[in-house]
Structure 1
């Protein structure tokens, strides 16, 4: 592993789970952290704990994402780590799904990721360095019954990650996709057994990837509890 050389991280779709663990570990590694979400009031305690800055954004809105990057750059400098954690799960029988809700889910899970990756790439390409990490799910590998919208969005996210990695990797930008294959512990899901993923352990895997030397980069990481079937 190489030394940790990044200075500023932007986490889009920040919340109390994986994002919070990432903010803590990145901050402890000396990284300035920007937390961005649609509802920012939930981020105040985490910002106090980690010294992070808070930004409001609708990740599926083009002008809003561009403005977010401008605001982060003005306050903290250009982010050299960009993490997309925004997600929207819509489930139900195909014949009964509301098309407008499905479109919204696709906007958050896939189109928003494209907007964020595009803005990150525009800023990282001139410097020929940076990292873009995308948080996926089991649904990006296999589509489950009654979960078509989520599978559609996460499959698209994985395709974006693969394409971006092949395009941007040779230009010095590390793109990696993380398949979170299992339930993640949270206040609503406090199960501390090996049947759930520990968000702190997930965040550690992100940092391990960020420390990889460029001659041995990972494009995809598949994380699951050892007890999870796959």
Structure 2
């Protein structure tokens, strides 16, 4: 979890990996992040704000609560991006009979229950101030169940349902909730890759730009769901 603060508000990215999470955090925090441990120093020097890296287990309600107690003590959280996913989308398929109950439950706990906990911690403050953005990251598995990916698909289906419920309940309160379906594999950030980006891979920096656009959309035309893919589509 990466958290950036300014004199006005806070942005939190749950699930900061080397691709999408890194690019989204870099776009929101306006720096080249590198390692999470260097966030505070980087943001203080280059963006005149504060960034904190917090270890969080989205499957553990106590871990989520403790993390947000720290975050919300700093001020108003205006943007929440939820990228956490278990198992990772890049994992190979697993035969249904080989999936353990523990693994299946953990997938639901991270992808759906974790998102539920995070949203419950931030929505009251957003409702009070009548503004805020919540972006949930989904995938092709949010729409279609794939053979060998029952854990991923069930978690992502539940996440999509949560997003739709929250969008309809809290839009009138000024909260913009969006579910983003990433239909394809994500490549390396374009600014760190050599040569041209592989056109069959989704550019995480371009995704981050779209996430920023969602946050800055005019309220009269909010996006509640969006699907994104590479310039050469090899998905569904």
Query: Aligned with 2:217: secondary structure?
Result: coil
Partner of 2:125: 123
Name the SS for the 1:15 alignment partner. Answer: coil
Taking structure 1 as the reference length, the TM-score comes to 0.85
C-alpha separation between the residues in 1 aligned to 2:158 and 2:210? Answer: 23
Does the C-alpha gap of structure 1 residues 219 and 56 become closer, same or farther in structure 2, counting only changes over 3 Å? same
Q: Which residue of 184, 199, 204 corresponds with 1:199?
A: 204
1:23/1:50 contact within 8 Å kept: no
8 Å CA contact 1:15–1:43 kept in 2: the answer is: no
Does structure 2 retain, via aligned residues, the 8 Å contact 1:60–1:115?
Answer: no
Deviation per CA, 1:138-178: give whole Å up to 9, x if none: 10011111001100000000000000000011111000011
Deviation at 1:199, TM superposition (A): 0.6
Q: Is the 8 A contact 2:13 2:80 kept in 1?
A: yes
1:137-216 mapped onto 2 (5 Å cutoff): 137-186=139-188, 192-216=197-221
Q: Unaligned stretches of 5+ in structure 1?
A: 1-5, 30-34, 36-41
Check the 8 A contact 1:80/1:124 in 2, yes or no: yes
In the alignment, which of 68, 75, 78 is matched to residue 77 of structure 1? 75
Q: Please, what TM-score do these two structures have when normalized by structure 2?
A: 0.83
**C-alpha displacement of 1:192:** 2.3
Corresponding residue for residue 14 of structure 1: 16
Instruction: Output the CA distance in 2 between the equivalents of 1:96 and 1:45.
Output: 40
- Within 5 Å, give how 1:59-138 maps onto structure 2: 59-74=58-73, 76-89=74-87, 91-138=93-140
- 1:62-106 alpha-carbon deviations (Å, 9 max, x no partner): 1221221110122x3121101111111264111121111111111
| C-alpha contact (below 8 Å) 2:39/2:53 kept by paired residues | no
Which ranges of structure 2 fall in alignment gaps of 5 or more residues? 1-7, 45-50
Q: How many residues align?
A: 212
